[in-house]
Chain A
Amino acid sequence: MSRIGKIARRTFLIGSVAVVGGVAFGAWFVGRPAPNPLQPKDGEAAFNPFVMIDDKQITLFAPRAEMGQGVETTWAALIAEELDVTLDQVTVLHGPAAKAYYNSAMVGEGLPGKGYDNSEFSHWVGDKLGHLGKLFDLQLTGGSTSMKDGFERMREAGASARETLKEAAAKRLGVKRADLKTEKGAVIAPDGSRIAYTELAAEAAGLDPVTADLRDPGEWTLIGQNQPRTDIVAKTTGTATYGVDVRLPGMKFASVRMNPRLGAPMNGFDASAAHTMPGVEKVIDLGTGVAVVATNTWLAMQALEAIKFDWGEAPYPSETDAVFDTIARAFDDKPNSTMRDDGDVSVLPEGATEVTADYSLPYLAHATMEPMTATALLEEGKLTVWAPNQAPTIIAMKCADAAGLETDQVEVNTTYLGGGFGRRTEVDYAVYATRVAAEMPGTPVQVTWSREEDMTHDFYRPGAMARMRGAVKDGKAVLLDGKVAAQSCTFQAMTRITGLGGGGPDKVHVEGAFNQPYAIPNYRMAGHLAQLDVPVGFWRSVGNSFNGFFMESFIDEMAIAANRDPLEFRIELAEAEWAPAAGVLKAVAEMSDWKARKRPGRGLGVAMIYSFGTPVAEVIEVEEQDGMIRLTNAWIACDMGIALDPRNVEAQMFSGMVYGLSAAMFGEITFADGMVEQQNFPDYEALRIHTMPKVEVRVLETQDHLGGAGEPGTPPAAPALANAIFDLTGKRARRLPLMHDFNLFV
């Protein structure tokens, strides 16, 4: 291990560079530094990524998409913890698309293990493989990876900056660096006098960067504490700039209408009426649809309404039933993966009772609050894109292609995101904006989709089916044999990004099913890939969103078949496999007062799912009121290992739960004549304030690893609700959304 350790140490570089009146610090991995992303402005030297100090201010860079999850604040806090600044002393910026901002945790997630049983060593290997993220230039926000990714890198950047500033002060004062302290953005001299970092910036710029050991968790003052969000004032006063808020001199507004038969060509269109409409400046043929450029967004949308289109045929079955027939046929094919195959599921253990159930879940839209949008400006040899996005380096690559430029001729500005949920890892909206801008060189154009366009042109959460077979004996689950069928969003997305399809077993397709921390001696999970061209993508919690429902609905069915309390049944199974999973279950049992709460007219359901490194248990309570089923209370417990910002973790947990509950109750995308039927929020309802249950969150920190927060709250929501409804009505929900089979309060 020692030799490998040395290499690892050498490959870790801290850089510092002079900038006008100041200094910049960053951390780079993998031998050679990635090209410096922050382009020097006139007279400025190039500087590197994470901390920049000049004579006026301290700027921190958090190059991850801020879509509500609080990454901007937490990344800034990680730097500030070592740098010794308070968050109100600094400005936090996203920064440009850059290789140096690759996601080191993302590729590590691709390793084959179950996750919760990883040894220290395999976690370490995961980190090393994570460097492939850089090789793929993946500056991606997703997979709940930001904290794992930034946890060490950001603190190291802060520590190096601090020690280098101290070195500059030591030189100035003629004392030893070790005799100096730092506090609130200043170096404290032995006599107690203070020199602000901003005053030392120019001197620090001339020094070799100093590395330092990271502080002991016991010394942390920011990490582990609730931080006021750095974006909170802007988002409370309407002054935060989202994608739709970009305003540039001379900017035009546009909208698009693409073939509602997704991926199909356009045979023709008649825009004669549109051309004469007020404000219309240009109608652009995009091949598979049309853009209208106008003086305001609404006039552009109105003109699109007036265009007659002749759309080509969909490359997938045109009706929902036929789409699901295709998914079901995948069960007949050889499985793509069997990621778990413990014991022997072929024989029913002596004296055991067999349980079987089939489930079916719909396609789902992301429905971010801000519809898809991007702004682009093409000038001589240069493209500038402003986009709320989760993947700036992919945008740079794809928009360069669309404009006939090289990637380094593209500047990507990432605005705040009005929700992401995975939708904005795709880049279609930015490519359309680029193609429109390419028709109007020198004029910036903002392309904003209507809600209808957004809902009917998503990369959907795949529809999914499961065939579950299990067995119980003496009050325990002794066998679980599951088969899951769905399209592969991983392979489809890889094809879109790289042009090459994926191969090998798709772990994401079965995550939440094969890797659950339950001690079931005979446990097999097979994934069957449905071959279909419906566009699918990453939807908050991805495979866990459907597999979690299959697993935790079926575990509930097994508990009932075993004549057991569903919560105790789970605690026993989890306890024998991984203590933190049992811990979150025990926590919700206590929080909800599970046993004592039961009464006629009330149903309680539980689900626990381990995803993105975090076990989360949820209990949902429903009551029958005036013949309708109403959600009354919810309890969530998660185990983060370390909760970097507990109040933010709490927000992510209930946010994730709401997203899952909304889909469970109302969410479905269906097809007719090859087109998505749902158009706008009235067809795709979500939880609202009056249907939202009261919610209580408990954040535990018992496990050894840092878990993700943005997604793990979602998967348990749907099965916990379905199990609660079973408890209330005695009827199992084996398909979603629930509104079709139950009278829900809306």
Chain B
Amino acid sequence: MSKTLTINGKTHTVDLPGDVPLLWVLRDEVGLTGTKFGCGVAACGACTVQIDGEAVRSCQVPLEDVWGEVTTIEGHGTPDALSALQEAWITHQVAQCGYCQSGQIMQAAALLAQTPRPTDAQIDEAMSGNLCRCGTYPRIRAAIHDAANRMEG
């Protein structure tokens, strides 16, 4: 099927079977490799992107079902124009291998959009689907709290 997607504010038309997950459309067809493949079964969160601001596992969203505007890590902030969340992530030196971090950040961004001052319990609730085999959790938590402060100004 041919489908036109809006990704990070730009439109892309792809011609692919409708069951190809958004993850692979982004990575292998559109060339946005910031979103990662970790498990393919909604168990790790490495593939997290936002559709209309809602955090979703892109490995679970078939192309034919993409219902809104897609934001990936590349659209969230760039090295030259970091988001407040990314600045906090850098201040706390969160990343180790870094492979899970695109997903962590996209999940955390959705959390902060909904809950500007999350409690530890709310962070647990929102972030528990995002696995980090390097165990960067303490710094993820600190960076989210810090970003909440920065964003309130």
Q: Which residues of A contact B (CB under 8 A)?
A: 67-70, 228-229, 231-242, 244-245, 247, 253, 278-279, 295-299, 301, 367-371, 416-421, 448, 450-451, 647-648, 651, 654-655, 657-659, 662, 680-682, 686-690, 692, 694-695
Contact with B44, one of A242, A448, A681 (Cβ below 8 angstroms): A681
A658–B132 Cα distance when bound, in Å, is: 10
Q: Is B50 an interface residue (CB 8 A)?
A: no
A214–B72 Cα distance when bound, in Å, is: 47
Tell me the interface secondary structure of chain B in the complex: loop
Q: Which residues in A have their C-beta under 8 angstroms from that of B74?
A: 237-239
Contact with A416, one of B44, B98, B132 (Cβ below 8 angstroms): B98
CB <8 Å contact, B28 and A296: yes
Given contacts A655-B135, A692-B138, is CB(A232)–CB(B97) below 8 Å?
Answer: no
Q: Is B73 an interface residue (CB 8 A)?
A: yes
Q: Is B113 an interface residue (CB 8 A)?
A: no
Against A, the Cβ 8 Å flags (1 = close, 0 = not) of B91-103 are: 0011111111110
Residue ID in chain A nearest B139 by CB atoms: A651
Q: Which residues in B have their C-beta under 8 angstroms from that of A69?
A: 96
CB <8 Å contact, B40 and A451: yes
A234–B38 Cα distance when bound, in Å, is: 19
Contact with A689, one of B82, B90, B127 (Cβ below 8 angstroms): B127
Q: Which residues of B contact A (CB under 8 A)?
A: 16-17, 20-21, 23-24, 27-29, 31, 33-41, 43-44, 46, 72-74, 77-79, 82, 86, 89-90, 93-102, 105, 123-125, 127-141
CB <8 Å contact, A297 and B37: yes
CB <8 Å contact, A419 and B97: yes
Residue ID in chain A nearest B32 by CB atoms: A238
- Report the minimum CB–CB distance from B21 to chain A (whole Å): 6
Contact with A647, one of B24, B73, B93 (Cβ below 8 angstroms): B93
Contact with B132, one of A232, A296, A369 (Cβ below 8 angstroms): A369
Residue ID in chain B nearest A446 by CB atoms: B28
Q: Which residues in A have their C-beta under 8 angstroms from that of B132?
A: 369, 689
A224–B46 Cα distance when bound, in Å, is: 33
CB <8 Å contact, B96 and A651: yes
Q: Which residues in B have their C-beta under 8 angstroms from that of A418?
A: 36, 97-99
CB <8 Å contact, B43 and A658: no
Q: Which residues in B have their C-beta under 8 angstroms from that of A658?
A: 134-135, 137
Contact with B77, one of A237, A295, A451 (Cβ below 8 angstroms): A237
CB <8 Å contact, A233 and B96: no
A417–B97 Cα distance when bound, in Å, is: 6
CB <8 Å contact, B90 and A232: yes
Q: A244-B36, A662-B133 are in contact. List 19 more A-B contacts (CB 8 A).
A: A237-B73, A237-B74, A237-B82, A238-B73, A238-B102, A244-B37, A296-B27, A369-B36, A369-B133, A369-B134, A418-B36, A418-B99, A421-B133, A651-B139, A680-B41, A689-B127, A689-B137, A689-B140, A695-B138
